[in-house]
């Protein structure tokens, strides 16, 4: 049944059934290219939401689920904002209302993850939409390209 969710993924996220998903089922969904989300930011936020729904019991799955988030596809401004949270001197107070965001910003792997994503976004942007040249560059440097999901789309949304 999980394979049929696609365009209704965000409806699932907003339902009571989202909290009941197992980590295996959520990971399976997040690895798909066909989930109907508007941006990768939504994927990041829904991971935090699922983790927060059960308190500290799900904290052990943070890294596993973050591996499913395609940070390389996020806008660089959002990545800078996330990195500012990581480097904030009083992050314990700043993120006290969201324990999973605090865990994300306290994890030593976060800085590398965000720095790598920002480098990737800057590299991809330098090819100005020339996807073939971008793929050649990634192949030449033995770097894995990040492929986008088939996002939901509405012409009035400014981030498409």
Give a yes or no: residue 159 inside a domain: no
Give a yes or no: residue 18 inside a domain: yes
Q: Is 58 left (phi over 0), alpha (psi -120 to 50) or beta?
A: alpha
Give a yes or no: residue 96 inside a domain: yes
Q: In this predicted model, what pLDDT tens digit does every residue of 48-61 receive, in sequence order?
A: 999 999 888 999 99
**Listed range (37-41, 43-47, 89-93, 146-150) with the worst mean pLDDT:** 146-150
Give a yes or no: residue 115 inside a domain: yes
Give a yes or no: residue 105 inside a domain: yes
Question: Which tokens in the block code for residue 150?
Answer: 């088939």
Give a yes or no: residue 151 inside a domain: no
Q: In this predicted model, what pLDDT tens digit does every residue of 54-113 receive, in sequence order?
A: 888 999 999 999 999 999 999 999 999 999 998 888 988 988 888 899 999 999 899 899
DSSP letter string, 3-46: GG-GGGHHHHHTSGGGGG--HHHHHHHHT-S----S-HHHHHHH
Domain count, the chain: 1
Give the CATH number for residue 15: 1.25.40.420
- Structural domain containing residue 123: 2-140
Q: In this predicted model, what pLDDT tens digit does every residue of 108-158 receive, in sequence order?
A: 899 899 999 999 898 888 888 788 888 898 889 888 888 788 765 556 656
User: Alpha-carbon distance 145 to 8, whole Å?
Assistant: 27
Give a yes or no: residue 118 inside a domain: yes
Give a yes or no: residue 145 inside a domain: no
């Amino acid at each position: 049944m999980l394979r049929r969710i696609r365009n209704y993924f965000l409806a699932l996220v907003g339902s009571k059934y989202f909290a009941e998903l197992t980590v295996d089922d959520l990971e399976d969904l997040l690895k798909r290219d066909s989930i109907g989300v508007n941006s990768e930011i939504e994927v990041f936020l829904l991971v935090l939401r699922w983790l927060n729904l059960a308190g500290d019991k799900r904290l052990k799955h943070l890294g596993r689920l973050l591996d499913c988030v395609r940070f390389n596809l996020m806008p660089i401004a959002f990545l800078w904002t996330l990195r500012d949270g990581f480097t904030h001197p009083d992050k314990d107070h700043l993120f006290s209302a969201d324990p999973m965001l605090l865990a994300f910003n306290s994890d030593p792997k976060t800085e590398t993850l965000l720095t790598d994503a920002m480098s990737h976004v800057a590299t991809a942007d330098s090819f100005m939409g020339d996807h073939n040249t971008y793929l050649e560059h990634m192949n030449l440097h033995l770097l894995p390209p990040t492929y986008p999901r088939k996002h939901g789309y509405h012409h009035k949304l400014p981030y498409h």
